[in-house]
Structure 1
């Protein structure tokens, strides 16, 4: 029953998010449905139309729609979007999450307390200019900032990671940016449990940094034990990613699951006491949440501990058939409290892996049960890895477009020792906190982490086994899960009907690939993309892509993202010229040489490399229909050009602000 309820709530959340349903409508519907559901339950129909089941499904669907509306403050009079956002205001905000900084700014998620001394609600992304002389802000810090919110920019380039959509799925629609000198920090801000946990985690990290851990090892220790990945080098992170072991660097379901089973083993003697099983369950759950507190109560940790608290309850019941219901119940609880978690990749990967392990692992064990204990344990570990990988494979391909074929090697080499590493790490933390951490323990633990990094690095170097740049869209995602599900069912109980569905799914999957290739062959597009200190035009013709650029050495990953999504097979890089014909229209490019089109009037004018020109006079002379500026120009010049175009009532498109531009190929 809990599985069905969860599915209906999930459907309601998806409907509410994408169709922006206000909370009032589902609330009214629930007031109507609940009495009817009570009436249907009293009637207890055993035959005929299932009134109670249908009404229950509709009610839970409305509940899913409602919780998203409440979470995103839709239609709420106190939400900040009801205010005039075109004017500067005094925003009083509270830091609720510290994000990983980039080269230019420190970033935080903040909760709005008030705007111009009036109560307001909602969340804002706060970017603070990097300043080496100041300390980072902490969770629970309360700030007063006088500024105007900005909309989150769309992706600068086609098929680039959509950061705006990512933030919207966390309930964040705007950002505020300033420097440290322009904010006022409240001296005695109200403390929350999350702030205390975050501060305690920072205290643990400061204690560990006093010891002689290597820089690379310290970064991994912070990530592995405390869920903070800020200090991991890019090279180390890429090694874990390419080896299919990046999940080790985030405190997630894997870590909490290992800790749960360690606690189950260590506390098993409690079962001998009267009411010992209940005492053991309570102790295990409390210790899990204690670990979550030590790790800073970040959203991913809270989510994982919540899930495995329900798993601990399932172990207490000791009924394997209830496993799916208990996991579904944990998912239901989480999405009702935090419905937008449903759209986070970590949430999707965690539950996909857990459901797959619970379902597929026992079936793999039935296929073969070796007598030799070493072979049996190896087979069990391999079965868990294969089950989890099957569960997350379509999601991984959809988001990351690569498949580490040696994932089972890295898992076999690391996972068996991860329990020992986590247990030893917790001991290291405790000893560091009480200033009783011996040097030989530091050296031993540092050596273990260094060895793990080396093993992962070796696996990652086997580049022939890393399949990259795999095109995979949402339709393939759904068909992929259909094929995996039907394949497992068929291997468990081979039937002709199941085999037909399996072959049908495979044919549909292949047809989707062929259809995608056919669509690509018919496509032609010319796109102005954004790249700092460079000018780049894409000309796609079928599965071929010509990159027209002024600097072939400064292309970044703009091409890779586009080539994967568009199934590009041929790439060609060409030096950019000053003029092109786009359909029936003409594009002229003015660069630092400031050469003007004297003989003909272009429809489009692209300004690059900060040309020194009198734009007003040029516009009066050639009268273009649209002006473009890309990332190769100085921002100060772009602002002047934008004002000039506004005065002349000529459309102006700056890629640094509006993102890429797709030119019309109308040939009429």
Structure 2
């Protein structure tokens, strides 16, 4: 099937190209707006006075218009580009911030974070979003969506990742239009009693009410946390063990209310409303009822970005079913993506959930018919299992490169978990919606609670059993951005080839495979020839690493604390062997003399012109050390007191000695 023959797909790809240009290149917003308007005028003139169906010029101008529009919305979606953004004010000291809570992030053991929309700073009306960080609080005192606060504080930039290949929270928040944060404490803020309510606030209030109703029933704790995730999109109560089981079994998508849930709900609604086809205007009634029920479910699930995205996509799918034209499926999916990026948020393009949802759906629509042509079982049960397996294989084929790029693991038994769970997910969701409905009117019978509790318990047990088959869980897979692009090219070439096997298509597929293999071989060779010294940052810990090709020697006193950080680095850098050892006071690596001074404060005066690492807050006279050894550079890692670090920094500046604090500048590398 020639996908690029569809106009909506062409326009969507052009819009995506424009969004990427707007995101990665700094182009003035006014210039992009003017260019878009000029192209639109030209397009209107051509449409009016020329045969646009056959005009190459019309196609070129239409493409330029779409790219320019994408660049404009991509740039406009970055709040810092607006003249009213708070960053354009000179705010160096504490100020009074008036803001409104718009989102509640998942808490961790250290803090509870919120995203807030700014209303004013002092006497200035401003725009923009900011991150609020406070201590973890019980649900009764936690801030809620639509709460308006007055905060007396100063803002600080969100810190970037301090170690290579570590999750970059700063970059993640930047994609959401958030660049800075404010620390909350008990004294620097209070809630305003007069607040305006939005639909998101009402949705959260409704969801919280449902959760309280479910908590009053006799569900077991683990089952209740999974029910909240399945039906309401509330995952914060799921234990780490249960979440890991679903992740390792390749079924973690079940715990996020997204396209899978909405798609199953759409099929369930269509099945229940099928008798209405026989009445006048029945198809129109089915369409309107389906859309209302889908968005009603989205409201109960809190109108999170993932559920809004899924409902918007399947609203277009419902319209495709209404038209009863299966060949339009690609057009409808492309239009839904175009609509979401243009009218909802172009930054959705950079969200993993958005990428995986559309990759899975496009793969299913494209690959499922091909898989069904390979084998048509005569037995109905075998045919049904093959259909489910075909859907699972197609979806996994679509998301595999993205999963490897972001998560570096592949659950080999994904088809088992999908075969065991997905066929019954419609029943689980349908029963869950019934349970929620009955709980709201206080007539939820205990037998139904017991049945549903057992259903979720069995599902959890099946997932745990699949997750225990560790031999089929492939982890620590190195996969970079170039491999991501080349793998999708290879997958696309393979599908095109299988639709109609010809010499030219086969050669394109083989060339794509050869390019992928060549880049992988080159990346492994490059990794094997790279050597260097790294001093990582970790609070209250010291980690020194020597990379020698595909081997990594790690020197630390607490290997268990550094394991996760080192593993992330090793996967990205294609390390095969990791060896741990205790910290020494001096190293000689690749002609580099490297000394470490610990809490004892002892050092050798004979070591001249070397690198000095200060760890464990040594009580030393740094002026004397500099006079005695004349070091190349002095490094302080995360194991030192902050007050000591500031004093050492001032001393180094006075003596014109380079100073590197890993807590500010991140990992120190020397290659």
Residue matched to 2:587: 580
SS in 1 for 2:563: coil
> In 2, distance between residues paired with 1:482 and 1:441?
49
Give the aligned length.
664
Residue matched to 1:70: 76
Is 1:628 the counterpart of 2:635? The answer is yes
> In 1, distance between residues paired with 2:254 and 2:353?
13
For structure 2, the 5+ residue unaligned runs are 1-6
Is 1:424 the counterpart of 2:431? The answer is yes
Is 1:306 the counterpart of 2:316? The answer is no
Instruction: Note the C-alpha offset of 1:193.
Output: 0.4
TM-score, structure 1 normalization = 0.96
Q: How do residues 465-480 of structure 1 correspond to structure 2 at under 5 angstroms? A: 465-480=472-487
Q: Deviations 1:202-237 (Å, cap 9, x if unpaired)?
A: 111111111121111111111111111101111111
Q: How do residues 163-182 of structure 1 correspond to structure 2 at under 5 angstroms? A: 163-182=169-188
SS in 1 for 2:151: strand
SS in 2 for 1:64: helix
Residue matched to 1:192: 198
For structure 1, the 5+ residue unaligned runs are none
Q: Deviations 1:439-466 (Å, cap 9, x if unpaired)?
A: 1111111111110000000000000001
Contact 2:606 2:629 in 1 (8 A): no
Q: How do residues 55-454 of structure 1 correspond to structure 2 at under 5 angstroms? A: 55-131=61-137, 135-336=141-342, 337-454=344-461
Residue matched to 2:516: 509
* Distance change (3 Å), C-alpha of 1:85 and 1:615: farther
Residue matched to 2:3: none
> In 1, distance between residues paired with 2:652 and 2:459?
58
> In 2, distance between residues paired with 1:582 and 1:151?
36
Residue matched to 2:4: none
SS in 2 for 1:371: coil
> In 2, distance between residues paired with 1:143 and 1:481?
47
Instruction: Note the C-alpha offset of 1:326.
Output: 0.6
TM-score, structure 2 normalization = 0.96
SS in 2 for 1:535: strand
Is 1:42 the counterpart of 2:48? The answer is yes
Name whichever of 573-582 and 264-273 sits farther off: 573-582
Q: Deviations 1:281-340 (Å, cap 9, x if unpaired)?
A: 011001100000000001111110000000000000010111101110000010112000
Instruction: Note the C-alpha offset of 1:567.
Output: 1.0
Q: How do residues 633-652 of structure 1 correspond to structure 2 at under 5 angstroms? A: 633-648=640-655, 650-652=657-659
> In 2, distance between residues paired with 1:361 and 1:133?
45
Residue matched to 1:604: 611
Instruction: Note the C-alpha offset of 1:115.
Output: 1.0
> In 2, distance between residues paired with 1:133 and 1:493?
58
Contact 1:129 1:180 in 2 (8 A): no
CA RMSD of aligned residues (A): 1.8
Instruction: Note the C-alpha offset of 1:568.
Output: 1.0
Residue matched to 2:554: 547
> In 2, distance between residues paired with 1:346 and 1:125?
21
Residue matched to 2:563: 556
Q: Deviations 1:575-628 (Å, cap 9, x if unpaired)?
A: 221123466653321111211232233443211112223435444554434322
> In 2, distance between residues paired with 1:251 and 1:274?
34
Is 1:29 the counterpart of 2:28? The answer is no
Contact 2:150 2:189 in 1 (8 A): yes
* Distance change (3 Å), C-alpha of 1:534 and 1:463: same
